[in-house]
Amino acid sequence: MKIVFCASEAVPFAKTGGLADVCGALPQALTELDAEVILVMPRYQAVVSSGVMTKPFNLDFDVATVGGVHVYLLKDPSYLRSGLYGDRFGDYPDNLRRFSKLCAKTVELLGNLQLTPDVVHCHDWQTALIPIYLKDPRTKKPGFWKKRPRTLLTIHNMAYQGVFPKEELPKTGLGWDYFSLPGVEFYGKINILKGGITFADHINTVSPTYAAEIQTVEAGCGLEGVLGQRTAHFCGILNGIDYRIWNPQADAYIAKNYSAQDLSAKKDNKRVLQEACGLTVGERTPVLGFVGRLVALKGVDLILQALPKICAKGAQVVLLGQGDSSMEDAMVDMAGRFPGCVFYSSAFDDHLAHQIYAGSDIFLMPSRFEPCGIGQMIGFKYATVPVVFRTGGLVDTVRDWDEDPVNGNGFVFLRYAAGDLLDAVERALRLYENEVKWTDLMHSVMKLNFSWKESARRYLELYRRIVAK
């Protein structure tokens, strides 16, 4: 299979969230399964400072090679700002032009490379114009390809759709005939994701449960009807995680390495974490960790409400993340009110993130919506038991221990409320008091496998089905 990925971000070049993890790891996993994969993305300022060696390819692109994948980096001055999509004042006003260019230049690159891929795999609204361009006869040059490549559009988060005023349509290069219900028009505005859903040969999202959820009014963000018309061409495939990065046996960021066969060094990581965060050191003092964006969708409002009672239970909480200024301020206030119990840092710190996974006993992930989530998967690998809300990919990965002590691997609450989160935490703390059972649980969750290799196999099967159709 010949696959072209197009994405707005990918590790190790540039990252704002889980999209970058997917588009960095999945192409390499596919390559290891003998697929031919190239990746196209913008040449951001972050790429320049990433340390990855690049070289000129032509006037429009630089090229790099990572893990056997050729990465073509589109050059444009608008990509050299400090943020990928915006700054503290909001989204960049020229985002439609920036990402329309990414889509158009990706299609042009296929011609320059004389490459006819089996599938062009697009990710989120920033690349969702590609399925339209590939079906528009005005973009197809003579001899461009013998057959049109098929397209797969992956929705990583339905909340981000690329909505712009209709007056900006000329920036896309599309004619006004596309500003219609079968095109990109949506309630009088341009909706790029809607157009991609309509024109892509197949659509998927990042977990089976999220695939079901976004076809409902509650989680469809207004596009549930559009998705409903494509049900026969829509599915969910669970993301994986990169165990080359997230592996306590080889993690250079943590104090001491450990494995499922020998968990003894996990207590050393807890001690180092407690000391670094100014918490009272105690081997049997339960530590709860959180790594993520400080926004309501990640359940931070519930954590803030529950923190005083969690501290009253004798537990400690370490939190790392940036987000809404009001939530950051509230978290700083909590750390001040409960010294020795609550530690919070808003600084981006990869070292601390790894140490939180390694040194915590319980990982908090009370997201209101979570398309897939990787925090719970990382927690499993580091023997840090997750507490989650029943949503999205968390449903597909976490099974409540109280409901199923044989196969349970975490604690799940069903109603989105602070009291229900606290109840799940209390159930986890009760089990933690039984050192034998808790140790058994740690051993079992570390053996769970959410590697990209399995996800890559599923994507290869999907690519083959798309081409066959």
Predicted local confidence at residue 144, as pLDDT: 56
**Rounded to an integer, what distance in angstroms lies between the CA atom of residue 151 and that of residue 116?**
12
For residues 240 and 22, the answer to whether their CB atoms sit within 8 Å is no
Residue 136: predicted pLDDT: 85
Which two structure tokens, joined as six digits, stand for 131? 């399925």
What's 462's DSSP letter?
H
Q: Sort 430 into a burial class: Cβ within 10 Å, 0-12 / 13-18 / 19+.
A: exposed
**Cβ(228)–Cβ(345) below 8 Å:** no
Which tokens sit at 351?
């070292």
Q: Residue 139: what pLDDT?
A: 62
- Would you give per-residue pLDDT tens digits along the chain (469 residues)? 999 999 999 999 998 888 999 999 999 999 999 999 999 999 999 998 888 999 999 999 999 999 999 999 999 999 999 899 998 788 999 999 999 999 999 999 998 888 889 999 999 999 999 999 999 876 655 455 667 899 999 999 999 999 999 999 999 999 999 999 989 999 999 999 999 999 999 999 999 999 999 999 999 999 999 999 999 999 999 999 999 999 999 999 999 999 999 999 999 999 999 999 999 999 999 999 999 989 899 999 999 999 999 999 999 999 999 888 999 999 999 999 999 999 999 987 889 999 999 999 999 999 999 999 999 999 999 999 999 999 999 999 999 999 999 999 999 999 999 999 999 999 999 999 999 999 999 999 999 999 999 999 999 999 999 999 8
Domain 266-446, CATH: 3.40.50.2000
Query: Per residue in 363-380, pLDDT tens?
Result: 999 999 999 999 999 999
Residue 319 CB coordination number (10 Å):
25
Question: What CATH class is the domain 2-240+452-468?
Answer: alpha beta
ω into residue 12 within 30 of 0, thus cis? yes
In the chain, residues under CATH classification 3.40.50.2000 are: 2-240+452-468, 266-446
Q: Which residues pair with 73 in a beta bridge?
A: 41, 62
Q: What single letter denotes the amino acid at residue 264?
A: S
pLDDT score, position 116: 86
